[in-house]
Amino acid sequence: MLDRIIPLLLVTVSLISVATVAPAEEPAKKPESVLSFQMKDIDGKTVDLAKYKGEVLLIVNTASQCGLTPQYDALEDIYEKYKAQGFEILAFPANEFGNQEPGSDDQIKTFCSSKYNVTFPLFSKIKVKNEGIHPLYQFLTSKETNPKFAGPIGWNFAKFLVNRKGEVIARFEPKEKPDSEAITKEIEKALAEAK
């Protein structure tokens, strides 16, 4: 009987020691900036936002059937005005506010190009608040990761200005027009900073 128990004990001890020696899983790396994220563009391709390092970004949650949808015109205007200086607009369609972005990515892309001649980067539709919020917007709206400009997105066309290092440096409410003096001043200030 003892000759069966001893090998069993040895096997058990060796299994326990193996389990304790196995390396623990590393905790998920917390994003350090907007540039830490990978997103799907409107065509479903993965885009590493790190590619925008050195650029000034305006991140906007958009919608096609909103009273503020005509802001696409002003967004395109400022994009054309500043893109040669290292300025990008990243548009993230979202349907959380009055179901004003019900379409598919293909429908959104067609709408934006045919109605507003949008040439700045459009991304796949995401959730920007509540349950299922995309990690990028969790980062943008959380007090832990963006203490100066945290808070839930209130409506379509909320805007976050990001400097060349990927840091959020300003936030503008949805009704603030993209070509307003306040936004233009902050964009120009950020563009004036060295890469």
The rounded Cα 97 to chain-centroid distance in angstroms is 18
Non-local CB neighbours of 108 within 8 Å, separated by 6+ positions = 42, 64, 93, 101, 122, 125
Catalytic residue among 47, 66, 169, 191: 66
- Give residue 71's identity as a one-letter amino acid code: Q
Cβ proximity of 75 and 181 under 8 Å: no
Active-site residue, 66 included: yes
Taking the C-alpha atoms of residue 13 and residue 19, their distance in angstroms, rounded to an integer, is: 10
Cβ proximity of 56 and 86 under 8 Å: yes
Partners of 88 in the beta sheet? 57
Q: State the DSSP H helix or E strand holding residue 186, giving kind and residue range, or none if neither.
A: helix 181-192
Question: Which residues are catalytically annotated?
Answer: 66
